[in-house]
Copies of this chain bind each other. A is one copy, B any other.
Amino acid sequence: MKLNTNYSKLEENYLFTEIAVRTKRFVEANPDKPLIKLGIGDVTLPLSPFVADAIIGAFEELKHKETFRGYGPELGYGFARNAVVEYYRRYGVELQMDEITIGDGIGSDIANITDLFEKGANTVLVPDPVYPLYKATSLMDGQKIIYLPCTADNNFLPSPPDCKADMIYLCSPNNPTGATFDYAQLKTWVDYANGCGAVILYDNAYERFIEEDDKPHSIFCIEGARTCAIEFGSLSKTAGFTCVRSGYTIVPMELVSGGISLNKMWQQRQTTKYNGAPYPQQRGVVAALSEAGMADADRNIAEYKKNSRLIIDVLDKKGIFYSGGVNSPYVWFRCPNGMGSWEFFDYLLNELYVVGTPGVGFGDCGENYFRLSTFNTYDATKEAMSRIDAVL
């Protein structure tokens, strides 16, 4: 057998694995120290009972012969796909049901969409720093990667480069920097992609955290995006679906390259390689995207925003440069006293018993930066920030 040798390019120590190893070592050596985790971006508030009961109701149906269901449509039930259509309508975006697929989460879909592209033949733009998935999948496919430096100079929002590209990963609001494109900035990317025949793979996992009116909730709010963009949506951070697993992907009908429809290719991929998201979870998607579900989601997000406030207040007080926290569940800041990312990680862990995420783990340009997540409880976040406040 001939194996995919590109796998050997993957880095041995995945960021969160290394954090887990160092944290475990600390806890074993210091079992009595009150550790607080503001590291990994995982929600802590429970599932909306309204949403959970919709899913539970669907499982109750499956217990009875009269209401049992077998295989569902691979691309998603019409009721779930239509719920996404309705959701986008609130943002002024008109989609067709056939442009939407329901999957088991944004991670799978962002990874699996790479199936549509020729291996080892595409030039991929990847922001630096960024969520590690885009780099990893590009490496696995042997693509040529060009990194887009995201620094304080460009407010962590890269502009299109002078060279051409084939595929572009954008994540806005961004993980890890929290930086969020405004309409005009995103328009430059849409124009660039249309100009060079590239596709934008738009990770929209954090859109529900957007507060500012000049920031688009979807790339399809931008004119021209329907000929160059694929958008990935998530319920993980919005509705607490990290262990429930469901998300959706939008491939517009007008996205065509060399006469070939990417919508059709994605449908071929999913109908061949995927058996559809679980029926009960799709009932959950409908509940989560309804007015009642979104009211619950927004209440949870408001809780997390209180944690943002706690973090930002300390950074403001100390005069530490940061971004994020406003339209995003992450706060991204410069390590104090010129410390390196891992140096500051070890300092926080060993001296203050606080776990965060070293910026350099998201890319070389993240060196000297650090990410705190707002997903822990208010009390834990308050305690962590008061420890930091006391010593910095």
Contact = CB atoms under 8 A, between A and B. Distances in A.
A379 to B, nearest CB: 12
Interface residues of A, number: 76
A280 to B, nearest CB: 8
Nearest to A247: B275
Stoichiometry, copies per complex: 2
A34 interface: no
Given A107-B274, A111-B272, A277-B245, A68 B56 contact: no
A70 B46 contact: no
Given A3-B258, A3-B260, A44-B70, A111 B245 contact: no
A140 B117 CA distance: 11
A191 interface: no
Contacts of A43: 70
Given A52-B60, A166-B1, A257-B3, A137 B272 contact: yes
A244 B258 CA distance: 38
A115 interface: yes
B60 A44 contact: no
A137 B105 CA distance: 22
Contacts of A64: 46
A23 to B, nearest CB: 16
Nearest to A43: B70
Contact of A42 (B3, B47, B70, B280): B70
Contacts of A62: 46-47, 52, 240, 243-244
A39 to B, nearest CB: 12
Given A1-B117, A258-B3, A278-B245, A45 B68 contact: yes
A275 B105 contact: yes
A66 B109 CA distance: 31
A166 B107 CA distance: 30
Interface string A342-374: 000000000000000000000000000000000
A55 B59 contact: yes
A272 to B, nearest CB: 5
A257 B279 CA distance: 39
Contacts of A243: 62, 69-72, 276, 278-280
Contact of A52 (B3, B47, B63, B118): B63
A11 B94 CA distance: 32
A47 B107 CA distance: 29
A295 interface: no
Contacts of A250: none
A167 interface: yes
Interface in A13-63: 14, 40, 42-47, 49, 52, 55-56, 59-60, 62-63
8 contacts: A2-B166, A7-B260, A44-B65, A46-B63, A47-B59, A111-B274, A140-B269, A244-B280
